[in-house]
């Protein structure tokens, strides 16, 4: 089979298309013929060395496909459609997927959508249902509302009665955020980052209840300043780079604020929680109440191009690699 390999840490140019052996499923594992792999910022962090990894390695952790082989003790059968968010090595024509993290794809959900939903969808779900449970009247600030996670967070927050303010980079991206349901869209091409707190407080006097910031270094200080007293800053990504070390004493002067840096693994730590979150998401997709926008699709062999686009903030919605 063929797969994408990162032979050393670096930029997208370290990704190569190479032939490697087809893996054999062991106990508790599925061998899946890939339909599509999801491209996520964590893949770029691992490729670049921001997150420690062994090299060479096959990037990717998310995707969808059809089971073609089963190890012992798995509750799946050959021919079933599955999706996953945590199977290392997903940029490959065949993927070993832990049965414990595999999700049965229900009727009414196509495999492209199934590949696009797990990581970003589960992230949007835990952010709005658990990290800060959104309810009627909650005021939300969200960065990158035209991105894959952003569009899902908007829809999930609106479905629970929130008022959503989001930032985007361009007018074209603003249209996508409004289509997803955002109440207020701030175009950062027209607004200095230092002016963001005033712009947000003009819309929500006193500040927002929660800020979901997936951009990181470039936005952290400004989004933190948009919170009401005792508000929560949720830093869930670092698209612009990692936030420098932060003096927690500052949270006192800013109004007894809270800050958290969550990760998906902590919110799907049990099979029951994983199935709850995925079940709600797949159900909403099947009902037509949650739209998963696939903004770009590339062939698997062109993973380098997809990484360049993602890191260059030239994407909207979800990016997929198709086998």
Q: Each residue of 41-81: pLDDT tens digit?
A: 899 999 999 889 999 999 999 999 999 999 999 999 999 99
Do residues 222 and 212 lie in contact, with contact meaning Cβ atoms separated by under 8 Å?
Answer: no
Q: Each residue of 206-229: pLDDT tens digit?
A: 999 999 999 999 999 999 999 999
Q: Each residue of 17-43: pLDDT tens digit?
A: 999 999 999 999 999 999 999 999 899
Residue ranges of domains in the chain, CATH in brackets: 2-117+293-322 (3.90.180.10), 120-264 (3.40.50.720)
Q: Each residue of 141-160: pLDDT tens digit?
A: 999 999 989 999 999 999 99
Identify whether 189 is preceded by a cis peptide bond (ω within 30 of 0): no
pTM for the predicted model, two decimal places: 0.91
d(CA 181, CA 158): 7
Do residues 91 and 104 lie in contact, with contact meaning Cβ atoms separated by under 8 Å?
Answer: no
- Residue 296: name the closest of 280, 281, 317 by CA: 317
Do residues 208 and 222 lie in contact, with contact meaning Cβ atoms separated by under 8 Å?
Answer: no
Distances (CA, A) of 41 to 23, 227, 238, 256: 26, 26, 8, 31
Do residues 318 and 62 lie in contact, with contact meaning Cβ atoms separated by under 8 Å?
Answer: no
d(CA 202, CA 200): 5
């Amino acid at each position: 089979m063929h797969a994408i390999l990162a032979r050393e840490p670096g930029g997208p140019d370290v990704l190569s298309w190479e032939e490697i052996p087809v893996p054999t499923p062991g106990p508790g594992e599925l061998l899946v013929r890939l339909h599509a792999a999801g491209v996520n910022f964590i893949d770029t962090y691992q490729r670049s060395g921001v997150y420690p990894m062994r090299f060479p390695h096959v990037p990717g952790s998310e995707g969808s496909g059809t089971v073609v082989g089963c190890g012992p003790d798995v509750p799946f059968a050959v021919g079933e459609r599955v999706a996953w968010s945590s199977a290392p090595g997903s940029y490959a024509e065949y993927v070993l997927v832990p049965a414990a993290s595999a999700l049965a794809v229900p009727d009414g959900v196509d495999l492209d959508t199934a590949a696009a939903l797990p990581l970003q969808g589960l992230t949007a779900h835990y952010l709005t249902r658990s990290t800060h449970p959104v309810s009627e009247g909650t005021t939300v600030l969200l960065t990158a509302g035209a991105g894959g996670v952003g569009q899902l967070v908007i829809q999930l927050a609106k479905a629970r009665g929130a008022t959503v303010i989001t930032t985007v980079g361009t007018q074209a991206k603003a249209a996508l955020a409004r289509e997803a349901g955002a109440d207020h869209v701030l175009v950062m091409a027209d607004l200095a980052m230092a002016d963001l707190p005033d712009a947000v407080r003009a819309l929500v006097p006193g500040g927002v209840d929660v800020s979901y910031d997936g951009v990181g270094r470039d936005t952290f200080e400004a989004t933190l300043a948009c919170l009401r007293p005792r508000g929560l800053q949720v830093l869930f990504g670092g698209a612009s780079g990692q936030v420098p070390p932060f003096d927690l004493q500052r949270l006192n002067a800013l109004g007894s604020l809270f800050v958290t840096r969550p990760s998906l693994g902590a919110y799907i730590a049990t099979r029951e929680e994983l199935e709850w979150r995925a079940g709600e998401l797949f159900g909403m997709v099947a009902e037509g109440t949650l739209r998963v926008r696939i903004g770009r699709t590339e062939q698997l062999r062109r993973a380098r191009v997809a990484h360049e686009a993602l890191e260059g903030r030239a994407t909207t919605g979800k990016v997929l690699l198709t086998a």
